[in-house]
Structure 1
Amino acid sequence: MKLFLLFFLFLLLQNPNFAISLSPDGLSLLALKSAVDQTSDVSAFSTWNENDTDPCHWSGISCMNVAGYSDPRVVAIAISGQNLRGYIPSELGALIFLRRLNLHGNRFYGSIPLQLFNATSLHSIFLYGNNLSGPLPPSVCHLPRLQNLDLSQNSLSGSLSSDLANCRQLQRLVLSGNKFSGEIPDGIWPNLDNLVQLDLSSNEFNGSIPADLGDLKSLSGTLNLSFNHFSGEIPRSLGRLPVTVSFDLRHNNLSGQIPQAGTFENQGPTAFLNNPSLCGFPLQTPCSGNPPKSSPVDQQNRETVPDTNSKKGLKPGFIILIAVADAAGVAVIGLLIVYIYWKRKDSGSCSCTGKGKFGGGEGKKFCSGACWNSFPSNDSEVESDKGGSSSGGGGGGEGELVAIDKGFTFELDELLRASAYVLGKSGLGIVYKVVLNNGVPVAVRRLGEGDGQRYKEFAAEIQAIGRVKHPNIVRLRAYYWAADEKLLISDFISNGSLASAIRGKFFDLLLFCSQILNSLSLSLWTSGVRE
């Protein structure tokens, strides 16, 4: 405040009428203009004139009438993306009706002044994308209305204070891309029952993940703790978070088995990547003594085969009965295959030998269980978001594999060489189950030849679908586009299908017959062994 008084006296000596013409809020704002280096482009302050009666017409300033005051008061400062270099003056704390401070995307340096938090009406502070340093002042939670605090992409350091528990109105806390370190203290998160976004990624936090993070009942979107040094096991309490929450725990030192309850059941493998000592589903790293979790399809394909050594002592009569039972089972299965074949009216086949590089002269196909027709290979490139043009519907074209989930990455050749199994067919195309090299299953819907839809239209629709997050909606991970081929890659959910539910009675009957035959076969084997 001493600097502010000196600055005010200096202006008063320069212009005796200054104190009469400019409001107190205007004086505080001029301190911000003076704090910016003149080497910067100061065009953002071109309308800031100290001879104005009030600053409400200055660029980036918003005012409103306040009861009990004759003049409008400053309620918002929005000077972002101007590449301004300077420091944040403490005089801004004198703006007692300031609600929103937005200085992101500049080059402000130095620490965040403690006096800033004297502006007790502040509810949003956006200072991300600057060069600020020093600690996060504990007095930030002296702001009783603070709802949004985004200090990401700076050089702030130090540890988090337990005083954050006093920010009871806080809804968004984004501290990513700084140099914060140390352990996160317990007792903060149960008090923040309005918090909907928490991003502590790309810092230097260590220690264990606080168990009381599971008390953030209002959290939505992503709980982002990635790119830190967290260690120990993942708290099971995180499973109490709302089902719409996605975890991002990548690139830490976490260990032990991933919990399998609550919200954890909705997470994909990308949430836990690059934790070398982490194991369990959905990762393909089994924990010691625990076999990897398998899908119902895998379990259905398993057969119970008796020990070959038990064949000793079987009488010829039993062997004949076993053969008849097996033949009957094969006949039932054959009839089922013929029925499905004619119902689907699939025709044609392909030789799964083409594995040439994408863009080369050879076609590419999915193999093992089902295969695809050749992709186009030698035509012009497709239109992309970065430029270029394409008819979008005529002719073939080299395709583009676009990942919507940036953490879920795989090469196109890997996708094309993977094992694929037909799951179903509809008017929207064929759906395959594809197992990637890392053992992760995905569902691939082949839309087939397009109807002339342009790439940008297709990409915009798919990106919109990819932004939908709901526990009952399968997540879209990536898509492939070419003029005559369109693929959608999503999570594989092994919980049956609508078709099996509709035709459940028919398949239940076949399954019942099959189980009877298997039971008969097993009984005959057992009887033979006993005798």
Structure 2
Amino acid sequence: MACSWPPYCLPLLTLHLLLSTSPVFSDPQDPARLLKFRTSLTNIELLSNWNLDIPPCVGASPNWNGMICNKDGSVFGLQLENMGLSGTIDMDTLAEVTSIRTLSFMNNSFEGSVPNVLKIGSLHGIFLSYNKFSGEVGDDAFKGMDSLRKIELGNNNLTGKIPTSVKELPILVDLQLQNNQFEGEIPDLEQKDLKVNFANNRLDGSIPKGLRNQDPSSFAGNNLCGKPLRSCKKKLSKKMIIIIAVASSLAVLALIMALFVCRNRQKRKMDYKNHQVTKTTNRKNTYKTNNEIQMNTKQVANYKRSDNGGKLHFLRTDRDPFELEDLLRASADVLGSGSFGSSYKAMLAGRAPVVVKRFKEMSNVGKDDFQAHMRFLGSLSHPNLLPLLAFYYKKDEKLLVTDYAENGSLASHLHVKRKPDEPGLDWATRLKIIKGVARGLDYLYQEFPRLSLPHGHLKSSNVLLDDDFNPLLSDYALVPVINKDHAQHLMVAYKSPEFTQHGRTTKKTDVWCLGILILEMLTGKFPANYLEQGKGGKPDLGTWVNSVVREEWTGEVFDKEMKGTKNGEGEMLKLLKIGMCCCEWDIGRRFEIREAVEKIEELKEREDEEEYSSYVSEGDAYSSKAMEDDNFSFSVTN
């Protein structure tokens, strides 16, 4: 099945050209103001079509990249996401464009303080997540912004207290502050229908009454208490503290007096006394040793009291088994906190390190069904699957133990800032990785023929790399055991068009995830739609790629850090096309898993010299010819 241009595209294009001949724009000075704003930015290659020859908007249709337009041709907002932008956000100049109501600079490289959004007091939404903003946000940062509905500042390096001015925003419905370093207490927020995310900060105290209906995951990684988390311990009154202090003093005094009486009564010979001192010293040493053992015992006591009786179920016959106590007493490093819970690297004596993942939201099935599913996962064997070594069952907590991948995740190689002399992944390595990912996913489809989501959470952070950069899929086939609400809130499959628009998944949903992963790996851009919760999220990466290549195929879409591409451009374009056909919005036109795997397997690291030379000789036709090979074509159907 091949994707193709829909027949209605040409009439739409003609209509677009006709409209562009009679532009409507509310303020003739706004284009110049926007160009002035652009001068404050760096890395503006994706804003190259901003020029005075064409208006930013024609009616509700944008001409300039990143514009959101009103029907009257005025600029409603800027959506400058995933563009690698840095520099300064010139709020003074933007404030002169009086029609602006929303600003999004998500997933760029802006640094320094959060821009002063008060200069545009009529904003409806401000989206600054996934940048490098730091420092404190002023307490009055949002004072008087009565039209503000959404604030997203997650995944930066912000410090200090959460500004109390957010309490005064009457129609605020979304507040995203996760993965920063905010501290102190959460302001008493009582806005109706408000959704928040304060996960992974340094907050403490009790959760305000108005937020007790939020998902517990919104408060994870802090020192908070109260509903929906554990109850807060009651603080002692001043009177009770005084009583305890007096009682403690009296007890100490009584102990001193008792010791004095005992000492006067005990008169022994010197040799016996020396002998007794030796025994006392030995007893002290013994007590210290036993106390250390008891501390370690307490560390595992909660696990031993579980429904599992403290048993770690080992699943692999090709590895030497170990016990739960061995695992919990091993030295460990915290790897991070993902969608499901925390991960630790445990170093057991005389063994290769393993990874332990703690899952809180994994009670969708009962104990027997859970154990049966884990045993089946443990029986899977494929070169591109991360083996499940063992599991531990507790009603409110599960542990899954896997191998440790030395080269980390694909996401870390694509998106974590590297040292100046550290190379990025070259084309040959990326092709090797995506072939392994496709093979592993195909194997899951074969092993789980009745599951609509054989993987369910395929993304770059769940593609791990071994010593030779062979990919290993992780967190696969967990949809049956993950709590439904948690799965739909966080798992990648539920970001697909069919679920966000129609509330359903299909056997082709994991193929959509594969397509987005291919585009992410080729472009080096993070899929911003993964960050959106629920319906009406940001356009997916496939939509962005379509918008870039709709007019002409160029190498600008590819990650600039992808080296070693000589004679490989045609194959890269073929893989890009495969990715686009995998994430087609129209499910009927989307590739089946077998079709996607077969197309990927046909790719080579580079073309033959003769084929490459013929492409080059055709000049601008090179890209088009590469895309037409094997009758490939694509559509823009979203």
Work out whether the TM-score is over 0.5: no
TM-score (norm 2): 0.36
User: Which is strand-richer, 1 or 2?
Assistant: 1
Higher RCO (C-alpha under 8 Å, 6+ residues apart):
2
